[in-house]
Copies of this chain bind each other. A is one copy, B any other.
Amino acid sequence: MTRASGVDPAVCRACSGRWPDAADRIAALGESAVYLHDDQFFAGWSVLVLRRHATELFELAPDERARLMDEVSDVARALQLAFNPRKLNYALFGNLVPHVHWHVIPRLGSDPAPLESVFAVSHEPVRLAESERSDRIARIRRHLVR
């Protein structure tokens, strides 16, 4: 791992394997791996984590960025097929973990606040039981075959 943007990969939660939990992995993709988000209040919320350390989109080579965004797009399509949302949301923040990772969030017809950002919706996190979690991961994985 190389140092980028003043962040030491040795202390980066994503680079050190402390986050996300390997048990939540949906699939390994080319430039990234995709995980089920631990809070499933918004059903299907997934997180796509870049394999190497970088903090901003402009640190990536153009072809690397294109491949990463194809993977984000593929995950979004899989979530569309698996959950039939009215809209997908995509966000790259890195305020807490400054390692490129994309939140991809299906907004279902049953969404409690369909016009709001999920980040503005106050709620108790929903932690699924292990069997429900495995089912949800399998459901997304089935649609992720390219």
Once A57-B72, A62-B66, A76-B58 are accepted as A-B contacts, the answer to whether A94 and B87 lie under 8 Å apart by CB is yes
**Given known A-B contacts A89-B95, A98-B87, A119-B120, A70 and B65 have beta carbons under 8 A apart:** yes
A19 within 8 Å of B (CB atoms): no
Q: Quick check: is A56 within 8 A (CB to CB) of the other chain?
A: yes
A114 within 8 A of B: yes
1/0 per residue, CB under 8 A from B, across A16-52: the answer is 0000000000000000000000000000000000000
Question: What is the size, in residues, of chain A's interface with B at 8 Å between Cβ atoms?
Answer: 34
Q: Which residue of B lies closest to A6 (CB)?
A: B86
Chain A 78-97 against B: per-residue CB contact (8 Å), 1 yes, 0 no? 00100000011111111110
A62 to B63, CA, bound (A): 11
Which residues between 111 and 126 of chain A lie within 8 Å of chain B, taking CB atoms? Answer: 114-117, 119-120
Residues in B with CB closer than 8 Å to A120 are 117, 119-120
